[in-house]
Amino acid sequence: MNEESIESTLHEERLFPPLAEFSAQARIPDRATLDSLAQAANEDLEGFWATQACAEITWHKPFKTVLDSTNPPHYQWFSDGELNVSYNCLDRHLREKADKIAIIFEGEPGDITTFTYHQLHQRVSRFANVLKAQGVTEGDRVVIYLPMVPEAVIAMLACARIGAIHSVVFGGFSAESLKDRIEDAKAKLLITADGGHRGGRIVELKAAANRALKEGCESIQHVIVLQRTGHEVDMTEGRDLWWHEAEAKADGNCEPVWLNAEHPLFLLYTSGSTGKPKGIQHASGGYLLGALTTMKWVFDIRDEDIFWCTADVGWVTGHSYVAYGPLAAGATIVMYEGTPTFPDPGRFWKICQDHGVTIFYTAPTAIRALMKYGDDIPASYNLSQLRLLGTVGEPINPEAWMWYHRVIGGERCPIVDTWWQTETGVHMIAPIPGAVPTKPGSCTLPLPGINAAVVDEKGHPITTPDRGGYLVITKPWPSMLRTIWGDDQRYYDTYWSKFGSQYYLTGDSARRDKDGYFWIMGRTDDVLNVSGHRLGTMEIESALVAYPKVAEAAVVGRPDDIKGEAILAYVILKGTRPTRGADKTLTEELRAWVGDQIGPIAKPDEIRFVDSLPKTRSGKIMRRLLRTIARGETITQDTSTLESEAILPQLQGKE
Ligand code: 6R9
């Protein structure tokens, strides 16, 4: 961890106690109730989770074993129990909630479709039969590459119904990224769409899928194509079939397959500090339990709520809080296809108003982007139905928190700042809105049954308030990742090597204040967080050096008001450094290239062409120095190892 990040500069003293009106109706109405839950978990962690698992999940075969830690760090939960996650999200609601709306979908062009639980159950069952007809069976991998449309959730639940393992690839990822993920997962089937609507344009998903499949992906036998935009796309005879045609022929009954609680529910690829993306593997039972308990504790979900999580299903937030969590809880969700600023920056607030959203969950980057347009836009919509707000993905700066609180929440909605990761499956550190006072910028305290700590280099807990260290989780929890798909070694090395198999290493640095509140300070590894999306610096560097003109590249992040972190790339060309003017065209070429290789979110915000990069004697790029320079801070590091001091002005972008 770099030393500069250890001392925090943020001193936020404001405290917002839960509002009496909110607490009065909340599931966890006060600190005493919360403390008794936490105490139960402290006294008997397994007993606590066993009680929760019995209360929340409908089991086909009850479990006897709670936590199996015979083979750490491969912890297993409820491993002799059997369930089906799609049954828990759909069938069990049919008796009382068949006609309750499950999904309110709004497309970017303005089209609105709703699905009751009964209708969703029908569509999922039918589509599960489509999957079976294509030869998909238990344990097969299915890659889902769709826009934010209800069919994405239908496809996920259909996989869960038959025990196929889905891996959703964000629609904003390129053909190249899609191919890497398909190949790593050795997926049998790809589900995609002709395209999706985003920012007034069409995202060419089928075209990208065609490119990915042309270059490899031998494991793919069939491609199911959803018609969304209706524009013409190339279909390959014998391999590709239209979703609507296949579904029309399918039977509407599909019994769920009863699966072991440890059966993998999904893989979700996320960036690591080195090499290719990691396929984070989640299990069925423990994950579902975490999704359900956090819906109740953190989102205080009630039958009459209209719940809108703005995340794409391509990210873990979309898995846990668009699909599995709210549906398992029998809630009504809003799903929106497009961008927050199309056709204008009032779109989110209009959706909240039109559909009567009561719980709204988004990323700090979206809040900062919308805040830029001022208070008048949200003020022109009726947001009075909102009762709870949430954020996720990166630290929220207190200014954005205050704006969210004042302008969107009308000072009456608690804000839950939820810290968690793809690997943790669900919320880990977050306020319980009726019981825990909040502080702008802090994710507050670990949830009941979650043991988090901030430790020093040696793994000892840091007791000095506000001193930063490594954020670790000290005991297993049900929704934890089970491994990295096909790479146990990488699983050990990444998460369980620094402090042994006892402490799960989150990769984040954090500090605790005098009240024990957690404040996340950033990543300790070389992972960037751009607009709430994790990107490995190495992946962007690899993309850059794959360009014929590029010799070497180093990528670092620097703080950005809107995106959280912006991407700055230092590039050495194979030829001579371009002169000013010539570098503009080249910058655009490189940005477009990275966009094609990884996806538009990975495009560097700035590229500086340099003659050499600062390296240590062992040849490692001096990233700390580059970060200092990228931030425009004074250089305190020893620069004597630089090949030539003369490159400093180049690195600083002054020459
Ligand atoms: C859910 C999700 C995980 C990383 C995580 C941390 C950052 C997420 C945060 C937060 C501060 C919060 N992060 N929530 N930082 N406060 N409330 O975003 O998963 O994409 O895997 O990213 O995001 O750095 O380690 P994922």
Average pLDDT over residues 205-217: 96
Determine the Cα–Cα distance for residues 241 and 502; give it in Å rounded to an integer: 48
Determine the Cα–Cα distance for residues 155 and 70; give it in Å rounded to an integer: 35
Ligand 1 centre to CA of 523 (Å) is 9
CATH 1.10.1060.10 fits 526-652, yes or no: no
Average pLDDT over residues 599-611: 93
pLDDT of residue 7: 39
Q: How confident is the model at residue 273 (pLDDT cuts 50, 70, 90)?
A: low
The response to whether 417 counts as a known ligand-binding position is yes
Determine the Cα–Cα distance for residues 485 and 232; give it in Å rounded to an integer: 36
Query: How many CB atoms neighbour CB 95 within 10 A?
Result: 7
In this predicted structure, the answer to whether residue 123 has a pLDDT above a threshold of 60 is yes
Q: How confident is the model at residue 5 (pLDDT cuts 50, 70, 90)?
A: very low
Q: pLDDT averaged over the chain? A: 93
Ligand 1 centre to CA of 13 (Å) is 23
Determine the Cα–Cα distance for residues 451 and 42; give it in Å rounded to an integer: 9
The single-letter DSSP state of residue 324 is I
* Span 342-395, pLDDT tens digits: 999 999 999 999 999 999 999 988 998 898 899 999 999 999 999 999 999 888
Q: Within the chain, what is the greatest distance between any pair of CA atoms? A: 74
In this predicted structure, the answer to whether residue 318 has a pLDDT above a threshold of 80 is yes
* Whether ipTM exceeds 0.95: yes
Instruction: Decide: 468 and 8 in contact? Cβ < 8 Å.
Output: yes
Which residue among 268, 310, 396, 419 is best mutated to probe the pocket of ligand 1, counting the most ligand atoms within 8 A of its Cβ? Answer: 419
The single-letter code of the amino acid at 235 is: M
Ligand 1 centre to CA of 420 (Å) is 5
Which strand ranges, in their side-by-side order, compose the sheet holding 101-106?
112-116, 101-106, 332-336, 306-309, 359-362, 388-392, 415-418
**Residues lining ligand 1, CB < 6 A?**
270, 315-317, 392-395, 417-422, 443, 506-508, 520, 523, 529, 534
pLDDT of residue 3: 34
In this predicted structure, the answer to whether residue 620 has a pLDDT above a threshold of 70 is no
pLDDT of residue 302: 98
Contacts of range 23-28, beta carbons closer than 8 Å, 24 or more positions apart:
23/434, 23/435, 26/300, 26/433, 26/434, 26/435, 27/296, 27/297, 27/300, 27/302, 27/434, 28/297, 28/300, 28/432, 28/434, 28/435
In this predicted structure, the answer to whether residue 167 has a pLDDT above a threshold of 90 is yes
Q: Which residue has the least CA distance to atom 2 on ligand 1? A: 421
Determine the Cα–Cα distance for residues 537 and 508; give it in Å rounded to an integer: 16
CA 256, 257, 260, 262 dihedral sign is: negative
* Span 558-585, pLDDT tens digits: 999 898 899 999 999 988 888 777 889 9
pLDDT of residue 2: 38
Ligand 1 centre to CA of 393 (Å) is 4
Determine the Cα–Cα distance for residues 64 and 344; give it in Å rounded to an integer: 54
513: tokens are 């204040």
Alpha helix (H) ranges present in 362-512? 364-371, 376-379, 398-403, 488-495
Count, residues in the chain: 655
| Domain range list for the chain | 20-510, 526-652
Average pLDDT over residues 297-322: 97
CATH 3.90.1150.10 fits 20-510, yes or no: no
In this predicted structure, the answer to whether residue 612 has a pLDDT above a threshold of 80 is yes
* Span 78-103, pLDDT tens digits: 999 999 999 999 999 999 999 999 99
pLDDT of residue 261: 98
Q: How confident is the model at residue 643 (pLDDT cuts 50, 70, 90)?
A: low
Q: SS3 string of 335-403? A: EECCCCCCCCCCHHHHHHHHHCCCEEEECHHHHHHHHCCCCHHHHCCCCCCCCEEEEECCCCCHHHHHH
* Span 530-567, pLDDT tens digits: 888 878 787 788 889 889 899 889 999 999 989 889 99
In this predicted structure, the answer to whether residue 175 has a pLDDT above a threshold of 90 is yes
> Percent of the chain at pLDDT above 90?
77
644: tokens are 């030539």
Q: How confident is the model at residue 468 (pLDDT cuts 50, 70, 90)?
A: confident
Average pLDDT over residues 587-602: 92
pLDDT of residue 13: 81
pLDDT of residue 33: 97
Give the containing element (helix H, strand E) for 473.
Answer: strand 469-473
Q: Bridge partners of 104?
A: 114, 334
